[in-house]
A and B are shown apart, each in its own frame.
Chain A
């Protein structure tokens, strides 16, 4: 099929799809008046019964915690997939280039970049840990804080020498952290069965609203997800970067 014919067919189908979608969207409830009873119940349950002030994180880790288990495993599998796809190529040349890469040095980054990196890494790390730990209280949670922490590690790579960072970063430690995070979430989910209630139930003591340890299992799950997301994102980025690093610079 020629590109021209494909374009005409594509535009025609898009117009038909657009008409159908606009018709469908016209039947939704009025903008500004959500109809679901869940919308009224969820904040009430979160605040009064579970002592969690951030209703969204409470819903993510408590009411719909099983959903989040699947989502965390998606991230785990994506890191696995990227490693499988990109590591296979590395082994074929690893033998010949490993020795050569040792002697080659990456290009030295400018002093301004290294100074900026050194200054920013500490605050970004602290911000990431703060966002992960305060997931139950203020906007934040495991995912946002986890990617922030991975960003801090990426900053080290971007501001430092390429070859030096590769020697320093232990890939095995990141893989173990990934597995530990995923396993911790699953263990907390099974803990409900151990305590005699349904799985994924909130079994830890619910502290006072507004303190750091409120909400039972919600901050624990937030930290587990934070560790897992940091490790998974670092793995994915390191797979893409290692390809370049192994080649060295001519």
Chain B
């Protein structure tokens, strides 16, 4: 196993732990995005460019946007119920 793969695996483990330990959902979106990007680099190191492309697009674009929209909707609901 090459050095690049070992470094990528360690980065993925650290990023995953950081994502779980971030409690605030808004900040967790950012660390989840970083986790997705480290995963994409790991997939490239394992010889899977298709999977890396898919991972970048889903974990960098689709999932953070959906989470941010849901959080905004929740906040608007809270503000609405206070009126």
Query: B49 an interface residue at 8 Å Cβ cutoff?
Result: yes
Task: List the A side residues contacting B4 at CB < 8 Å.
Answer: none
Query: B49, B58, B70, B72: which contacts A139 (Cβ < 8 A)?
Result: B49
Task: List the B side residues contacting A140 at CB < 8 Å.
Answer: 50, 53
Query: B17 an interface residue at 8 Å Cβ cutoff?
Result: no
* Complex alpha-carbon distance, A244 and B49, angstroms: 37
B residues 61-76 touching A (CB-CB < 8 Å): 61-62, 65-66, 69-70, 72-73, 76
Query: A186 an interface residue at 8 Å Cβ cutoff?
Result: no
Task: List the A side residues contacting B52 at CB < 8 Å.
Answer: 139
Chain B interface residues (CB < 8 Å from chain A): 1, 48-54, 57-58, 61-62, 65-66, 69-70, 72-73, 76, 80
28 A-B contact pairs sorted by A residue (CB < 8 Å): A56-B50, A56-B51, A139-B49, A139-B50, A139-B52, A139-B53, A141-B50, A143-B54, A143-B57, A144-B50, A144-B53, A144-B54, A147-B57, A147-B58, A147-B61, A147-B62, A148-B61, A150-B62, A151-B57, A236-B66, A240-B69, A240-B70, A243-B73, A244-B72, A244-B73, A244-B76, A247-B76, A247-B80
Task: List the B side residues contacting A141 at CB < 8 Å.
Answer: 50
Determine which residue in B1, B48, B53, B66 has the highest number of CB atoms from chain A within 10 A of its CB, and name it. B53
Q: A57-B50, A143-B54 are in contact. List 5 more A-B contacts (CB 8 A).
A: A147-B61, A147-B62, A148-B61, A150-B62, A244-B73
Query: A154 an interface residue at 8 Å Cβ cutoff?
Result: yes
Task: List the A side residues contacting B66 at CB < 8 Å.
Answer: 236-237, 240
Task: List the A side residues contacting B53 at CB < 8 Å.
Answer: 131, 139-140, 144
**Smallest CB–CB gap between A111 and chain B, Å?**
23
A residues 226-250 touching B (CB-CB < 8 Å): 233, 236-237, 240-241, 243-244, 247
Task: List the A side residues contacting B72 at CB < 8 Å.
Answer: 244
